[in-house]
Amino acid sequence: MLDRFVSNTTLRLDSKGRVSIPASFRSVLARDGFDGLYCYPALDRPAIDAGGNALMSEIEALIGRYAPFSEEREQFALALYGTSETLKIDGEGRVLLTDTLKRHAGITDQVAFVGLGHKFQIWEPSRFQSELAEATQKVRALKAQLGSSMAARNALGARE
Structural domain containing residue 112 = 8-124
In this prediction, residue 38 carries a pLDDT of 96
Question: Mapping DSSP to helix (H, G, I), strand (E, B) and coil, where does residue 20 land?
Answer: strand
Would residue 143 count as lying in a domain? no
Would residue 153 count as lying in a domain? no
For position 21, which CATH number holds? 3.40.1550.20
Would residue 132 count as lying in a domain? no
116-155: per-residue pLDDT in tens? 999 999 999 999 999 999 999 999 999 888 877 766 666 6
In this prediction, residue 149 carries a pLDDT of 73
Degrees to nearest 5, angle at CA 53 with 49 and 76? 55
Would residue 67 count as lying in a domain? yes
In this prediction, residue 34 carries a pLDDT of 87
What is the distance between the alpha carbons of residues 31 and 35, in angstroms, rounded to a whole number?
Answer: 10
In this prediction, residue 157 carries a pLDDT of 66
In this prediction, residue 141 carries a pLDDT of 92
In this prediction, residue 18 carries a pLDDT of 96
| 3-state percent helix, strand, coil for the chain, nearest multiple of 5 | 45, 20, 30
Low-confidence stretches of the chain (pLDDT < 70) are 1-2, 150-160
Would residue 111 count as lying in a domain? yes
Would residue 134 count as lying in a domain? no
Would residue 133 count as lying in a domain? no
In this prediction, residue 84 carries a pLDDT of 94
Would residue 35 count as lying in a domain? yes
Phi-psi region of 151 (alpha: psi -120 to 50; beta: other; left: phi over 0): alpha
Our count of domains for the chain comes to 1
Residue 131 phi, psi (nearest 5): -65, -40
What is the distance between the alpha carbons of residues 4 and 31, in angstroms, rounded to a whole number?
Answer: 10
